[in-house]
Amino acid sequence: MAKLEKRLREIDTEVDRFRIRIKDSEDLKSVEGVFDTFTLKTLYHLANKGYIDALGGVISTGKEANIYHAFGCEREIAIKVYRISTSNFRAMQSYLIGDPRFKNVRHEKRSIVFAWTKKELRNLKKAHAAGVRVPEPFVERNNVLLMEFIGEDEIAAPQLREVSLTPDQARKAFETTVEYVRLLYHANLVHADLSEFNMLMDGNEVVFIDMGQSVTLDHPNAMEFLMRDIHNVTRFFRKKGVRIEEDAVVDAVLGE
């Protein structure tokens, strides 16, 4: 706790106006490795702009980023913080290369992480506009992305893999998933990491998440990524008892 408080004091003399709160000491353990001084400055800026009122608990932790529950603009929001120091920027770079939206990104870690954050916001906007259920994105700055919180009363919706589905629910979730993949494809986008880990179930509604790696169709590996997504979806729903053929899914996605 002392270490985090010292970092906060280092930001500037107005840090007492920084309206982010940390709920308890367990949360402090998760943020010390992510909230470096630079990230704290970014959060401070977003708080002063009115996007963040209070920071809550951890939703998820990963190798590249942590996601936190928060409140802002009188609603629950999710804050995704990409790690600058530990992110696998070489892997990120492979998804950026070939994407004309980010062809001028400098090949150094901070620039790549910033571009990745911007890329996820753009991909979420594109998916949302295409009619795919995704967390609605609000704003990004540097390595921080603010978006809609999927869940209720500070409890995040579960990943698809965590949900018990009846045969009818599994069939409906499968049909929705294929339709979303189709809508993305016809909006010139491929998720590129679709699986039961990157889909949530918000009640009975499928939600696609984690779209930083998503690519446009002019990416040299776009079709390879699409076929991998379809394979992952088919494999998962077959285990749930849905009778499907992978070729039929491909036809449904690529057709008009």
Name residue 139's beta-bridge partners: 146
Q: Which residue has the tokens 């991998």?
A: 228
| pLDDT reported for residue 123 | 96
Q: 135-159 burial, b if ≥16 CB within 10 A, otherwise e?
A: bebbebbbbbbbbbbbbeeeebbeb
Residues of the chain with pLDDT under 50: 1, 3-5, 7-8, 10-30
Look at residues 154, 180, 205 and tell me which one is the last residue of a structural domain: 154
Same domain, 102 and 161: no
Q: Which parts of 7-126 are beta strand (E)? A: 54-61, 65-72, 75-82
What phi and psi, each to the nearest 5 degrees, are found at residue 130? -80, -5
Cα 247 to chain centroid distance, Å, stands at 29
Q: Which residues are catalytic?
A: 193, 210
pTM for the full predicted model: 0.84
Same domain, 160 and 183: yes
Asked if residue 1 belongs to a domain, the reply is no
Non-local CB neighbours of 243 within 8 Å, separated by 6+ positions:
none
Asked if residue 2 belongs to a domain, the reply is no
The rounded distance, in Å, linking the Cα atoms of 52 and 32 is: 19
Look at residues 154, 186, 207 and tell me which one is the last residue of a structural domain: 154
List the domain range (segments joined by +) for residue 176.
156-254
Same domain, 181 and 87: no
Name residue 81's beta-bridge partners: 66, 144
Tell me how far apart the 2 most distant CA atoms of the chain are, in Å: 62
| pLDDT reported for residue 34 | 61
In a 3-state reduction of DSSP, which class is residue 180? helix
Name residue 58's beta-bridge partners: 68
- Reference 20, options 38, 8, 7, 3; nearest CA is 8
| pLDDT reported for residue 22 | 42
Same domain, 150 and 162: no
